[in-house]
């Protein structure tokens, strides 16, 4: 307990129940951080429908539930990670309200547009790239100066960026051309930002989970099930487990614990890295 005492963290795309963002937020709150949950809040277009996003109402429920369980300071703010003005506003609001911003978790992602690459529409490619890559870039661009200022002024000791990439950042993933490309790009983003920000006392790392049955994971299961001829979730998960040396699929808490380590003082000398959380399925 208390590994993130006094720290202020923002987590993007954290407004969905059972999502990785929710689990990371809960773990951080348990360890004493002030947590700002953000999500897009309002459905729009063909893909960002209410069943694919964290709506304002769901995000508020997530914040209340974590506050109730942990007794921590957890608040919700809407933020479209693709909109530079939104990202800049959230960073300014956090620093104005809490006096510092120690940790950014770039967790928002779109991973359910699955089809062969020859059928992929350019608008679909752009949506995935914008949420998964432009969003994390915008948070780096706007939060890094706030962290640098806090470190220089002595109001915070360090800064941490944690980018939720994927196993699909290390290996190709059929039917996920834009997703896998964006997540591979996130590794480049992580490494380059790590080099630039290390002299300022800020670390930048990525976490690469394999399948987790979140809302997004369920959509991927539905597609993969059709490909392998499985009809039930149990059959699909049995197929997945068969490829995982540790014999089980990942849980949101597995990713949350990796994020906690990267957010904590214990990871002070680790930067530019991309840690697999895959039960041994991915090893490079
Ligand atoms: N579930 C998995 O199997 C898995 C595996 C590896 C990596 N990931 C990654 O983990 C992250 C979280 O995914 P999840 O599985 O918890 O799914 P999720 O659907 O619960 O979370 C994704 C969140 O991103 C948000 N989002 C989408 N567009 C946004 C925008 N423009 N601005 C702000 N938020 C936006 C959604 O509203 C949603 O809350 C994603 O980056 C995903 O790629 C997931």
Helix/strand/coil (H, E, C) string of 138-190? HHHHHHHHHHHHHHHHCCCCCEEEEEECCHHHCCCCCCCHHHHHHHHHHHHHH
Beta bridge partners of 105: 11, 162
Would you say 187 and 274 are in contact if contact means Cβ atoms under 8 Å apart? yes
Query: Which burial class, exposed, middle or buried, applies to 16 when counting CB atoms under 10 A from its CB (0-12, 13-18, 19+)?
Result: buried
47 catalytically annotated: no
- Residues 195 and 224 both lie in one domain: no
- Residues 57 and 194 both lie in one domain: yes
Compute, in angstroms, the gap from residue 108 CA to the centroid of ligand 1.
4
Report the domain count for the chain.
2
pLDDT, averaged in runs of 10, over the chain (284 residues): 96 98 98 98 96 97 97 97 98 98 98 97 98 99 98 98 98 98 98 99 99 94 93 93 97 98 98 98 97
Pocket residue to mutate for ligand 1, from 18, 19, 221, 254, most atoms within 8 A of Cβ: 19
HSE-up of residue 283 (Cα within 13 Å, Cβ side)? 6
Residue 2 lies in a domain: no
Compute, in angstroms, the gap from residue 65 CA to the centroid of ligand 1.
19
Q: What is the pLDDT of residue 1?
A: 80
Q: Residues with beta carbon inside 6 Å of ligand 1?
A: 12-13, 15-16, 19-21, 39-40, 48, 53-54, 79-82, 107-111, 131, 164, 166, 209, 211-212, 214-217
- Residues 90 and 31 both lie in one domain: yes
- Residues 179 and 225 both lie in one domain: no
Q: What is the pLDDT of residue 107?
A: 98
Q: What is the pLDDT of residue 98?
A: 98
Q: What is the pLDDT of residue 231?
A: 87
- Residues 149 and 228 both lie in one domain: no
Whole-structure pTM over 0.85, yes or no?
Answer: yes
- Residues 47 and 77 both lie in one domain: yes
């Amino acid at each position: 307990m208390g590994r993130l005492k006094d720290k202020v963290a923002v987590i993007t795309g954290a407004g969905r129940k059972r999502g990785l963002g929710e689990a990371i937020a809960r773990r951080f709150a348990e360890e004493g951080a002030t947590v700002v949950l953000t999500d897009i809040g309002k459905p729009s277009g063909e893909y960002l429908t209410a069943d694919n996003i964290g709506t304002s109402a769901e995000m508020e429920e997530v914040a209340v539930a974590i506050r109730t369980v942990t007794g921590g300071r957890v608040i919700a703010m809407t933020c479209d990670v693709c909109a530079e003005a939104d990202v800049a506003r959230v960073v300014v609001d956090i620093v104005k309200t809490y006096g510092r911003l120690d940790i950014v978790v770039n967790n928002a992602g779109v991973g359910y547009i699955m089809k062969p690459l020859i059928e992929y529409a350019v608008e679909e490619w752009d949506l995935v790239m914008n949420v998964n890559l432009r969003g994390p870039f915008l948070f780096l661009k706007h939060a890094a100066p706030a962290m640098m200022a806090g470190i220089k002024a002595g109001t915070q000791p360090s800064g941490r960026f944690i980018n939720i990439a994927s196993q699909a950042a290390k290996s190709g993933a059929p039917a996920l051309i834009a997703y896998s490309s964006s997540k591979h790009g996130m590794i480049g983003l992580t490494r380059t930002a790590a080099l630039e920000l290390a002299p300022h006392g800020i670390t930048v790392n990525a976490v690469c989970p394999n399948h987790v049955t979140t809302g997004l994971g369920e959509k991927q299961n539905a597609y993969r099930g059709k490909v392998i001829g499985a009809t039930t979730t149990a059959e699909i998960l049995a197929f997945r487990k068969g490829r995982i040396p540790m014999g089980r699929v990942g849980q949101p808490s597995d990713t949350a614990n990796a994020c906690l380590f990267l957010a904590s003082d214990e990871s002070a000398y680790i930067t530019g890295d991309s840690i697999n959380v895959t039960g041994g399925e991915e090893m490079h």
